[in-house]
Amino acid sequence: MRICRYATAEQACRAAALILASQVIRKPDCVLGLATGSTPIPTYKELIRLYEEGLLDFSQVTSFNLDEYIGIPEEHPCSYHRFMRENLFDHVNIRPEATHVPNGNAEDMAAAAGAYDRAILEAGGIDVQVLGIGRNGHIGFNEPDDSFVYGCHVVQLTKSTIEANKRFFASEDEVPRQAVSLGIGSIMNARCVLLIATGVDKAKAVRDAVYGEIDPSVQASILRTHPNVFFLLDEGAASLL
């Protein structure tokens, strides 16, 4: 585990962008695992900037997103489909058909989740996985639990996550109660993992992930067993380390 501390959130996010950019340069047909949430927005801005400067070409890149809410349309302003289009996909030359976000409206969620895992395997697995972290230590939407779930699956969102994510919705009542998320197995299978955490709100989750027990009550703690994981932190997120 490599812990990289930066003075500002901007720097932590740009560092993540530089690792992603070097991956795209070294392996133009790479598979990127992407995350939503406010944390990686500056990372995506930097990737867009590098693309506009002519340094990056996404034409052969494939992407798989971590998660999606269940039961809101893809066009909903808070859907992760829309988030990715607005914050990255519409601004670079990635092929729309090479971008994947879990379907939160599938008739058979279990079948769709299994198909999502298989699609990642068929694409050759994820080269670099971007992660944020929830205040309760969740990654993707893998909430604190008594086990680590391997594959893509449906999750019940916790009160803490609903509370944290309500800022994006008109009211707390509108926040979906369920989501579909890549499992811990699929995240751990990525060849490289970048966990970006910024702000003092994330300090406890980061401390628990780095120093606590490796335990599903803090899902990010399992990342310590990954052979190639970077924690990219600003001063706030690193303040309890």
| Site for ligand GLP contains 129 (CB under 6 A) | no
Task: Tell me if residue 87 is catalytic.
Answer: no
CB of 67 to ligand GLP, least distance (A): 5
Strand partners, 151: none
CA distances from 88 to 35, 63, 76, 201, 234 (A): 11, 11, 17, 25, 22
Task: Tell me if residue 138 is catalytic.
Answer: yes
Nearest residue by C-beta to ligand GLP? 132
CA distances from 43 to 47, 63, 69 (A): 6, 15, 22
| Site for ligand GLP contains 36 (CB under 6 A) | yes
Of 46, 68, 117, 143, which one is the catalytic site residue?
Answer: 143
Task: Tell me if residue 136 is catalytic.
Answer: yes
Of 67, 127, 208, 234, which one is the catalytic site residue?
Answer: 67
| Site for ligand GLP contains 137 (CB under 6 A) | no
Of the candidate spans 51-59, 127-135, 204-212, 213-221, the one that interacts with ligand GLP by CB under 6 A turns out to be 127-135
Site track 66-105 with ligand GLP (rule: CB under 6 A), x = hit: xx--------------------------------------
Q: Which of 63, 53, 52 is nearest to 24 (CA)?
A: 63
Of the candidate spans 52-60, 128-136, 214-222, 233-241, the one that interacts with ligand GLP by CB under 6 A turns out to be 128-136
Interface ranges with ligand GLP (CB under 6 A): 35-39, 66-67, 132-134, 140-141, 161, 165
